[in-house]
Structure 1
Amino acid sequence: MASWNRTNEIPYPTVWHRFEIRNPSTGTCETYRVQDLPPDRIDDAIRHMCEYFLRDEPICASLNLAQDPIGVEEITAIWRSIAKQRCIVVCYEEGREEIVGLNMLTVVSKEDPPFDNKFESCAVKTFVGSTLYMTNEAKLFERYQHAKGFLSAWGLSVHPSYRRRGIAAQILTARVPICRAYGLPFSATVFSHPGSQIPAAKIGFRDVFTMKFADLARVGFQLAVDVEWNKLMVLEIE
């Protein structure tokens, strides 16, 4: 699916970002780190994404993807495939190994073959198809002609117990040092909900291509979501 490979010159796993956030329940500051997902936590990461991302992400929720056994199998295969690039990042609270959050990162290269959207699950076909439609309409390699690749993602999730603390923005912040280490000039992702669009904007992502979900329905993607806009957003790396 992807032609980019991480070089051995970049240590793996690497801790990309550390931050402190006050716990609203206790009032104490807690320290977290965002690091590469270790290979022995891939299964745990996929369980997290199946339990929380598929349930809560607006497009997946509207398609009932979490209740689609074939769809879960096919989206899991996508995550396992991108895990081979060793780009996925996980957030931990220091001193604990519980998964606080995940970003299923992948590097998209200009040389990549067209993404094969021949899925058996209609839900996965719609989820992947709408994401690829937004990305293709943005014409990123035409906008950034010097770029050979960019950092993207197939899902951002924070554990429900840790939400509304600003952790999503901190996970997204890790993309800056990651892009610099990988030599990538920008990161681009389709964000489908204000819960990810707002923190993305706070750290410097800007709208490049947006569509109302009602307009996506007119081009063939029937999505009964409770939000108005789907956004392809870009973070340029200085």
Structure 2
Amino acid sequence: MENGNSKWRRPNSVPYPSIWKRFNGRKEINGVIPKFWIQDIPEDQFEVAIDFMMGGFPYDEPLNKYSKLEGDSESMDTLRSFLREMLEDRLGLVCYAENPDPNGKPIVAGINVTHIKMKHEKTMEIKGKTLSKIIKALDLVINMKDVFDMFNVNACLSAMGLYVAKEFRGQGLGLEIIKARENLCKAVGLDVIVTTFTATPSQIIAERAGYKVLSEILYSDLERTNPTYSFPGIEEHTKALKFMYKII
């Protein structure tokens, strides 16, 4: 895991926070089609965003779920720290649902902890055996290709988790959040987006958004490569890790 804060800063010319996308949902909630917008996560909402992610991402994302990450307190604390550090890039995205109460606050419907990834970065210390296993498994597929040399860039947008609240699933939020990354990248001057998609549904959504596979490895091959990288039960729901990209 690497630290994306060392050599890149969000341009001061790009307003922060900015709204990157507005859209309507796909199905009614209480008789009304909900309205959503996607924007930068404001600094005063970083902890809210982290709490939102920690409330679902460790339990739903396949590598986390099938390694029982939630049972390793040290790994959970480290994941929280990683999310906090990545949000400091001021590139994280939040999808808000319009509150039906005119005096109510917007409702957090989804979060994508997007952050900068640099060619030369300081390695972050991973504390917790479970998280260390997960990160090493991710690194296997990521390190199959050198994205910086392939695309002749020194920085690109990456992500550490996308989570949508259960009550808003089926509204197309995942696809819209992934698409909103493009507007963000155009504004801040990033030409490439890379993400490791660990589940079949997210891989399908990424393909619909125009992402292509850079490298992939079957979970069964992952375990054969190193028995340490075993995630019992994961293949019942998803078959492969896919490192995917999109050129902006």
Asked whether 1:109 is paired with 2:113, we answer no
Report matched runs for 1:1-238 at 5 Å: 1-2=3-4, 3=6, 4-26=8-30, 28-95=32-99, 96-113=105-122, 115-116=123-124, 118-145=125-152, 147-220=153-226, 221-224=229-232, 225=234, 226=236, 227-237=238-248
- Hey, what's the Cα distance between the residues in 2 that align with 1:201 and 1:42? 29
Offset at 1:94? 2.5
The CA deviation string for residues 51-76 of structure 1, in whole angstroms up to 9 with x for no partner, is 11100000000111122211110001
The DSSP-based 3-state class of the residue aligned with 1:99 is: strand
State the alpha-carbon separation in 2 of the partners of residues 40 and 200 from structure 1. 30
Give the secondary-structure state (helix, strand or coil) at the position aligned to 1:48: helix
Q: Normalising to structure 1: TM-score of the pair?
A: 0.93
Distance, in Å, in 2 between the alignment partners of 1:97 and 1:144 is: 38
Deviation at 1:177, TM superposition (A): 0.7
Count of residue correspondences:
234
Give aligned-pair identity as a percent: 27
Unaligned residue ranges in structure 1 (runs of 5+): none
Once the two structures are overlaid, the 10-residue window that deviates more, 182-191 or 90-99, is 90-99
Pick which of 228-237 and 131-140 moved more.
131-140
Unaligned residue ranges in structure 2 (runs of 5+): 100-104
Q: 1:222 is matched by which residue type in structure 2?
A: S
Deviation for aligned residue 1:33 = 0.6
Aligned partners of 2:39 and 2:117: how far apart in 1? Answer: 20
Q: Give the Cα separation in 2 of the matches to 1:203 and 1:39.
A: 28
Bigger drift between 119-128 and 8-17 goes to 119-128
- DSSP-derived class of the 1:134 partner: helix
User: 1 CA distance for matches of 2:31 and 2:185?
Assistant: 34
Q: What is the RMSD of the two structures over their aligned residues, measured on CA atoms?
A: 1.5
User: Matched residues in 1 for 2:149 and 2:224: separation?
Assistant: 25
Taking the aligned partners of 1:46 and 1:120, their CA distance within structure 2 comes to 18
